[in-house]
């Protein structure tokens, strides 16, 4: 008679009575729900460990079965509630022995395995499998357990490596089945084809056409939403798998469509990676990061049916990358008034110039182009800065001149584009109506084929028929409203209007209905880059425009500067002003002559006026001879001044002093006969006005500079109107 030796019998010496006073924990686990369903023998073997625990001396009532991890893998970072419960029971000294069918069932990672070993050693718990019982405190057993855990971890690595190699080899042949985007279906043979539904294909093509014309994902999404256009999605799971479902478009959906290479006929694999640092517990699809094009595992063009060409796909990717708000890209078109935002580069260092806005009179924003990256990065000086209006106006003139010869072609292209776009949208609406008509016809046939006596079925079929007819009626009404707003074809009047507008491109450009975003979009179609360089600190600016196609044109414009000395013709202005004064001209005549000769003050938006000429002469130290009319002025009382004389005495602008009188900062009145303003100012008041004039610009409204009789000056801030502001000279 043959005796079968039980390995549990010879190892009973390691099991002490105090072990049996604790629980015997049986850990049951299988990696996936499919294994639990298909490999039930493994499940029975693990539950049979309860009998093994009884054989080792534990009462059946003291055996704890932990099976919460059935269907949970031990190799990933996902939480395993059963394993966490086992660790807690061991840490609380509740467990005398842990039984498993094999050590790999406990943990596939070294971290979790050695954590369990340490806890068992600290609490005195044993570990057992079909090969024997192990004491983690014993050196030999600890060595054997460590080796078993290492082999288990290496086994998992080999399994994964073999599976990955096979998967990658199949993908390199283009045979690996991957998820298809909207607009594709997979036949039972495994072949990927275009969706047989014509409306699904029409919507996909419309999305790519809209992006070519509009240029941004947000604009495409808004157009789809405004026209009530939905995307046809094939369900990938559930009882209705493969059925077509219409969903409203989303930003992520449109972006994924434009980025997916399958639409260009490219079979790609490995476009994303899993970053364990970004994974979230309970969310298996998180932690994905997009890989660069050169890091894709497989790239096989021409393997799938295409909606667009590969070149068009590459252009879309470049355009989306350029729309991102980064230093090296032009960024997406925004609503600010800076027409060259994103296109301007510094002519000195070559870096991209940023845009800053300053709010002027009436709340209008004035842009300025600034090259200050080195100042921000290295705390060095600012490279250059200039007002943006002058550059925008200069490039606009060049742009309109370049577009003038193509006005007729522009009108024809615009008409064709509008016509094609309306035809696409109308086709999608007609397909929706056709689909609704088919649904009504099918519901009618189902109702007619049912037996009239079977009222339980007939009543439901009648409701379905009525619902389908209601949906058809609703779509027809929406289609009628759509045609009322956007007819299918252009009328003769609309075509003539397009031709007239194209012939008057400057009129379209400056029309109030043309937004800054529209102007920027047009500029970006024709201009690739604008390099600007300020010559020294003068008003001259060199502008180099790089047009679409690579042609470059160089020109020069002027900018506003802060003071007279920055003007490149400052010496000429001094000489000419002296000559005109010596010729006996008054301020108005001098202003007219300077403007006629093309000389301008520092603020380029203005021309010389009489007051500006007086300030200019005063700043240059040029004295005009007194006219007889001025010498024949009436006599004044004590401490009274003619406004012009007091302004010259204080070395300030007459305009500013006149504004102070009208604001109540100084006391004055109009002379009844001479019609000139007289200011009452004793010596103390003269010194007060002199002190007030020395206050930095923008700080006059602060009370410490005012006397006790001054009123609140914040009601009318200085510089609110251009004629009342003292020019900087």
Dihedral sign for Cα 208, 212, 218, 220, please: negative
The closest alpha carbon to 116, from 102, 131, 136, 101, belongs to 136
**Cβ(420)–Cβ(370) under 8 Å?**
no
**Cβ(296)–Cβ(272) under 8 Å?**
no
Distance, in Å, from the CA atom of 496 to the CA atom of 508, rounded to the nearest integer, reads 15
- Tell me 632's DSSP state: T
Check residue 652 and give left, alpha or beta (phi > 0: left; psi -120 to 50: alpha).
beta
Q: Which residue reads 């708000």 in tokens?
A: 325
Question: Is residue 451 classed exposed, middle or buried when 0-12, 13-18 and 19+ CB atoms within 10 A define those classes?
Answer: exposed
Here the tokens at position 515 are: 């937004």
* 193: Cβ contacts below 8 Å, ≥ 6 apart: 184, 185, 186, 187, 305
Distance, in Å, from the CA atom of 488 to the CA atom of 54, rounded to the nearest integer, reads 83
**Cβ(610)–Cβ(591) under 8 Å?**
yes
Here the tokens at position 158 are: 């080999």
- Tell me 704's DSSP state: G
- H-only helix segments in 450-569: 455-485, 492-503, 505-510, 516-526
Q: Which residue reads 């031990």 in tokens?
A: 74
Catalytic residues: 31
**Cβ(116)–Cβ(87) under 8 Å?**
yes
**Cβ(530)–Cβ(391) under 8 Å?**
yes
Please work out, in degrees rounded to the nearest 5, the angle formed at the alpha carbon of residue 244 by the alpha carbons of 195 and 193.
Answer: 15
CB-side neighbour CA atoms (13 Å) of 403: 23
Say how many C-beta atoms besides its own lie within 10 A of residue 502's C-beta.
Answer: 20
Here the tokens at position 530 are: 């604008």
Q: Packing angle between helix 198-214 and helix 217-226, nearest 10 degrees?
A: 130
Distance, in Å, from the CA atom of 472 to the CA atom of 464, rounded to the nearest integer, reads 12
CB-side neighbour CA atoms (13 Å) of 574: 10
* 514: Cβ contacts below 8 Å, ≥ 6 apart: 508
Distance, in Å, from the CA atom of 190 to the CA atom of 374, rounded to the nearest integer, reads 57
Distance, in Å, from the CA atom of 126 to the CA atom of 134, rounded to the nearest integer, reads 6
**Cβ(389)–Cβ(454) under 8 Å?**
no
**Cβ(718)–Cβ(665) under 8 Å?**
no
CB-side neighbour CA atoms (13 Å) of 219: 17
């Amino acid at each position: 008679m043959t005796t079968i030796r039980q390995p549990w019998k010879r190892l009973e010496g390691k099991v002490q009575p105090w072990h049996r006073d604790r629980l015997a924990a049986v850990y049951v686990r299988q990696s996936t729900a499919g294994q639990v369903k298909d490999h039930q023998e493994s499940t029975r073997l693990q539950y049979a460990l309860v009998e093994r625990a009884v054989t080792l001396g534990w009462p059946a009532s003291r055996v704890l079965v932990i099976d919460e991890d059935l269907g949970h893998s031990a190799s990933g970072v996902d939480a395993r509630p059963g394993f966490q419960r086992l660790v807690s029971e061991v840490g609380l000294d509740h467990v005398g022995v842990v039984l498993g069918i094999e050590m790999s069932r406990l943990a596939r990672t070294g971290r979790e395995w050695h954590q369990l070993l340490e806890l068992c050693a600290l609490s005195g718990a044993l570990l057992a499998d079909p090969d024997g019982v192990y004491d983690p405190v014993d050196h030999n057993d600890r060595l054997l357990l460590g080796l078993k855990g290492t082999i288990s971890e290496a086994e998992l690595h080999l399994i994964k490596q073999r599976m990955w190699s096979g998967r990658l080899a199949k993908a390199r042949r283009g045979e690996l089945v991957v998820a298809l985007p909207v607009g594709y279906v997979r036949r039972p043979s495994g072949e990927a084809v275009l969706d047989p539904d014509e409306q699904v294909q029409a919507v996909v093509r419309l999305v790519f056409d809209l992006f070519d014309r509009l240029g941004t994902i947000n604009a495409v999404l808004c157009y789809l939403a405004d026209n009530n256009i939905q995307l046809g999605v094939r369900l990938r799971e559930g009882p209705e798998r493969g059925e077509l479902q219409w969903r409203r478009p989303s930003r992520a959906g449109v972006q994924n469509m434009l980025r997916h290479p399958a639409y260009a006929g490219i079979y790609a694999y490995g476009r994303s990676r899993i970053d364990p640092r970004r994974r979230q517990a309970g969310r298996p699809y998180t932690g994905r990061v997009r890989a660069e094009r050169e890091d894709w595992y497989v790239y096989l063009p021409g393997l799938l049916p295409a909606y667009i060409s590969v070149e068009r796909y590459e252009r879309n990717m470049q355009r989306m990358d350029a729309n991102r708000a980064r230093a090296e890209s032009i960024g997406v078109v925004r609503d600010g008034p800076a027409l060259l935002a994103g296109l301007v580069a510094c002519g000195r260092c070559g870096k991209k110039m940023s845009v800053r806005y300053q709010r002027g009179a009436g709340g209008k924003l004035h842009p300025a182009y600034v090259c200050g990256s080195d100042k921000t990065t290295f705390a060095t000086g600012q490279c250059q800065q200039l007002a943006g209006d002058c550059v925008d106006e200069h490039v606009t003139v060049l742009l309109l001149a370049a577009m003038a010869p193509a006005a007729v072609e522009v009108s024809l292209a615009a008409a064709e584009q509008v016509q094609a776009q309306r035809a696409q949208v109308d086709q999608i609406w007609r397909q929706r109506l056709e689909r609704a008509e088919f649904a009504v016809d099918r519901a009618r046939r189902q109702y007619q084929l049912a037996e009239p006596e079977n009222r339980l079925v007939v009543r439901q079929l009648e409701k379905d028929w009525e619902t389908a007819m209601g949906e058809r009626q609703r779509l027809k009404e929406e289609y009628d409203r759509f045609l009322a707003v956007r007819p299918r074809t252009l009328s003769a009047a609309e075509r003539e209007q397009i031709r007239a507008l194209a012939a008057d491109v400057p009129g379209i450009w400056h029309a109030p209905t043309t937004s800054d975003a529209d102007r920027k979009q047009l500029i970006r179609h024709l201009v690739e880059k604008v390099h600007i360089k300020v010559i020294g600190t003068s008003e001259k600016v060199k502008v180099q425009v790089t047009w679409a196609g690579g042609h470059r044109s160089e020109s020069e414009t002027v900018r506003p500067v802060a003071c007279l000395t920055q003007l490149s013709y400052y010496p000429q202005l001094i000489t000419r002003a002296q000559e005109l004064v010596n010729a006996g001209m008054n301020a108005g005549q001098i202003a007219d002559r300077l403007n006629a000769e093309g000389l301008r003050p520092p603020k380029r938006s203005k021309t010389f006026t009489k007051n500006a000429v007086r300030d200019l002469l005063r700043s240059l130290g040029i004295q005009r001879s007194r006219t007889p009319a001025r010498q024949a002025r009436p006599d004044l009382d004590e401490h009274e001044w003619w406004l012009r004389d007091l302004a010259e005495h204080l070395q300030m602008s007459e305009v500013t002093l006149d504004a102070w009188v009208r604001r109540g900062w100084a006391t004055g009145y109009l002379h009844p006969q001479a019609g000139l303003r007289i200011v009452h100012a004793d010596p103390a008041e003269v010194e007060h006005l002199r002190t007030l004039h020395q206050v930095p610009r923008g700080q006059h409204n602060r009370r410490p500079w005012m006397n006790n009789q001054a009123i609140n000056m914040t009601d009318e801030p200085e510089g609110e109107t251009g004629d009342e502001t003292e020019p900087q000279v």
